């Protein structure tokens, strides 16, 4: 996606709202898919190793991810 840009005081400013929205959407999608993949892998590890640890519930995991992303 090629965006027009303006350089002001050595800083490149994107003047396309469509490009900004695209980047924002891609970032949100990454955050959602990354969380889903990590949780899926976590569940697979619990099943494969048959760990006696109590598996984390989905809501506890989502709360952890929200807290993690709040630091970003």
The predicted-structure confidence for 2-43, as pLDDT tens digits, reads as follows 556 566 666 666 667 677 888 888 988 888 888 888 877 877
Is the dihedral angle over the CA atoms 16, 20, 21, 26 positive or is it negative?
Answer: positive
Confidence (pLDDT) at 18: 73
Confidence (pLDDT) at 68: 76
Number of domains in the chain: 1
Confidence (pLDDT) at 11: 62
Confidence (pLDDT) at 51: 59
What's the rounded Cα separation, in Å, for the pair 68 and 21? Answer: 23
Q: Which residue range forms the structural domain that includes residue 42?
A: 5-70
Torsion, Cα 33 37 42 45, to 10 degrees, reads 170
CB within 8 Å of 37: residues ≥ 6 apart: none
User: Residue 66 above 60 pLDDT?
Assistant: yes
């Amino acid at each position: 996606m090629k965006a027009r840009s303006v350089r002001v005081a050595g800083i490149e400013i994107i003047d396309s709202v469509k490009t900004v929205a695209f980047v924002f959407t891609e970032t949100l999608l990454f955050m959602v898919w990354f969380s889903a993949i990590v949780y899926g892998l976590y569940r697979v590890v619990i099943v494969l190793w048959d760990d006696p640890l109590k598996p984390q519930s989905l809501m506890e995991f989502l709360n952890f991810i929200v807290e993690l992303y709040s630091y970003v």
